[in-house]
């Protein structure tokens, strides 16, 4: 896909996206949302996109994962049923909150930050990226794990692997008006009114 097609493409679970060129990388092109708007960071597991006129506010967050040599074998992200297990980004420091990603996980699960959508993408190599779904933090779903003397976070998210995330909604989020938008998926609307446990019930078909 060319850069313009990626910019316009909605996010469909299990769909694979690939930029025809190496620069910008596929996620950068896919998540730009609109020409001239700031994109997500070009690297790292945590890629926040900010509101256009207020860089202190997160519009949405992209979590990425792949076969990374930078994570310990015991810290490999994975999806089981409708739950994503995602590990923090502390690789070598003995201080748990030494990294921006771990700090972000701490605040997400503490609930002391305004809610914003979290999107999970798998990096498959050769510029290919698969969108997996929209994520919601599980109550009490953040724990500390250790690899020798290195502490890290282990985070649990419910993941909606059915709903399409439209670029129209992401554009509203970038403009700072999309949190309660009618363009948002039902799972996000459920999360905003009833929290993660109601989302889990929705995903499991009991709501």
Tell me the pLDDT tens digit for each residue of 54-99: 999 999 999 999 855 455 556 789 999 999 999 999 988 889 999 9
Structure tokens at 158: 């419910």
Res 189: pLDDT? 97
Q: 3-203 — its CATH code?
A: 2.30.280.20
Res 42: pLDDT? 73
Res 67: pLDDT? 56
Name the DSSP letter for residue 109.
Answer: H
Q: Which of 30-44, 49-63, 96-110, 133-147 has the lowest mean pLDDT?
A: 30-44
Look at residues 145, 144, 137 and name the one whose alpha carbon lies nearest to residue 109.
Answer: 137
Distance CA 117, CA 58 (A): 9
Domain ranges of the chain: 3-203
Dihedral over alpha carbons 158, 133, 108, 142 (to 10 degrees)? 40
Res 93: pLDDT? 86
* Interval 16-28 mean pLDDT: 91
Question: Do residues 82 and 13 make contact, with C-beta atoms less than 8 angstroms apart?
Answer: no
The answer, yes or no, to whether residue 100 has pLDDT greater than 60, is: yes
Res 22: pLDDT? 86
Distance CA 106, CA 18 (A): 32
Res 71: pLDDT? 52
Please write the tens of the pLDDT for every residue from 126-159.
Answer: 899 999 999 999 999 999 999 888 999 999 999 9
């Amino acid at each position: 896909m060319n850069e313009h097609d990626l910019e316009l493409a909605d996010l469909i679970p299990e769909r694979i996206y690939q930029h025809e060129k190496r620069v910008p990388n596929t996620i950068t092109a896919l998540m730009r949302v609109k020409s001239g708007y700031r994109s997500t960071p070009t690297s790292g597991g945590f890629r926040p996109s900010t509101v256009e006129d207020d860089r202190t506010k997160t519009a949405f967050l992209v979590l990425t994962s792949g076969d990374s040599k930078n994570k310990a074998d015991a810290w490999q992200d994975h999806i089981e049923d409708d739950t994503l297990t995602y590990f923090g980004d502390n690789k070598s420091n003995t201080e748990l909150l030494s990294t921006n990603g771990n700090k972000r996980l701490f605040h997400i699960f503490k609930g002391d930050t305004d809610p914003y959508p979290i999107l999970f993408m798998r990096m498959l190599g050769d510029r290919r990226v698969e969108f997996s779904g929209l994520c919601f933090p599980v109550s009490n779903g953040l724990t500390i794990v250790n690899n020798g003397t290195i502490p890290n976070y282990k985070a649990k998210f419910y993941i909606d692997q059915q709903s399409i995330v439209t670029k129209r909604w992401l554009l509203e989020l970038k403009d700072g008006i999309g949190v309660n938008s009618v363009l948002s998926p039902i799972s996000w609307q459920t999360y905003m009114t009833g929290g993660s446990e109601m989302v889990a019930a929705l995903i499991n078909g009991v709501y």
